[in-house]
Amino acid sequence: MTTFNTQPDSRPAVVLLHSSMSSKGQWSELMAQHESSYRFIAVDLLGYGKSPFPAGAEAHFSLAHEVDAVNAAIAGKLAPDEPFHLIGHSYGGATALRMARQLRARVLSLAVFEPVAFHLLSEDDAARIEIENVVADIHSATSAYGAARTFIDYWNRAGAFDALAEAQQQRFAAQIAKVKLDFQALLGEAATLADMAALDMPALVLSGERSPQSTRRVAECLAAALPNGVAVQTKGGHMAPITHAAVVNPLLAGFLAGAEIASA
């Protein structure tokens, strides 16, 4: 009988959380480039990719629900209490902040690109007022298409939604119900900037030079609040991890490797 000795995977684990209206597939390029060095675990957040919509929890949906789903998704891929690096973009970044606070002992490092943690901003902050106005416009839209148009155009540019192929418009319109829950969770989160002091792991906070005021403001405040946070601005806008992956991915990889982070 032939026996095989299987060695445990010694590559550091990296959990990847995507943005709203996206999926774990947004990290495919990063994963392909560095799979020899890291054991990537990309997760579909609730209502996106192959993850189910959080039906039945809509009235009280929160980031805690999202983190519970992420924890369930990674449980079978990590040993009990195994540490991991954590990377998140936009809504995935805000989810990562909540997750890092809940699992502080296990999170080796934290890298976020413009986490939409608007709850960190004071209610009279112009940046928070800006995004609350966007949320109001999404809720007042007379159709899913109109709501999706408001969402997509805000993060990209005016006319971006109408420039998309019909199939993409349909997909985004179908996801707007989850986007509304995402904003509910984000604006309802109780954590403050003072709470970020507990996240004392090495941290990288990335932002795009052409991003909206709302997320650039969050990134600025978050980087200042994190005890070991480094702020870096990159080319592109809020969707730079996708549109400017060639710029963002080397920064993430360099950070993971412990290399000095330089501005793009």
Cβ atoms 236, 208 nearer than 8 A: yes
pLDDT tens digit sequence for 65-106 = 999 999 999 999 999 999 999 999 999 999 999 999 999 999
Provide the residue type at 14 as one letter: V
pLDDT tens digit sequence for 200-233 = 999 999 999 999 999 999 999 999 999 999 999 9
Question: Domain spanning 13-121+191-256: which superfamily?
Answer: Alpha/Beta hydrolase fold, catalytic domain (3.40.50.1820)
Does residue 242 have a pLDDT over 70? yes
- DSSP-assigned letters across all residues of the chain: -----PPP--SPEEEEE--TT--GGGGHHHHHHHTTT-EEEEEPPTTSTTSPP-TT-GGG--HHHHHHHHHHHHHTTS-TT--EEEEEETHHHHHHHHHHHHTTTTEEEEEEES---GGGS-TT-HHHHHHHHHHHHHHH-SSHHHHHHHHHHHHS-TTTTTTS-HHHHHHHHHTHHHHHHHHHHHHH----GGGGGG--S-EEEEEETT--HHHHHHHHHHHHHSTTEEEEEESS-TTHHHHTHHHHHHHHHHHHTTPPP---
Tokens 């209610």 locate to 123
Residues 6 or more apart whose Cβ sits within 8 Å of residue 47: 53, 54, 175, 177, 178, 181
The pairing of beta strand 84-89 with beta strand 107-113: parallel
Cβ atoms 115, 218 nearer than 8 A: yes
Altogether, the residues listed in the chain come to a count of 264
What is the percent of the chain with per-residue pLDDT over 70, rounded to a whole number? Answer: 95
pLDDT tens digit sequence for 137-173 = 999 999 999 999 999 999 999 999 999 999 999 999 9
Handedness of CA 22, 199, 181, 125 (dihedral sign): negative
Domain ranges across the chain: 13-121+191-256
Confidence (pLDDT) at 8: 72
Confidence (pLDDT) at 262: 33
Question: 15 pairs with which residues across the strands?
Answer: 41, 86
Confidence of residue 261 (pLDDT cuts 50, 70, 90): very low
Query: Whole-number mean pLDDT of the chain?
Result: 93
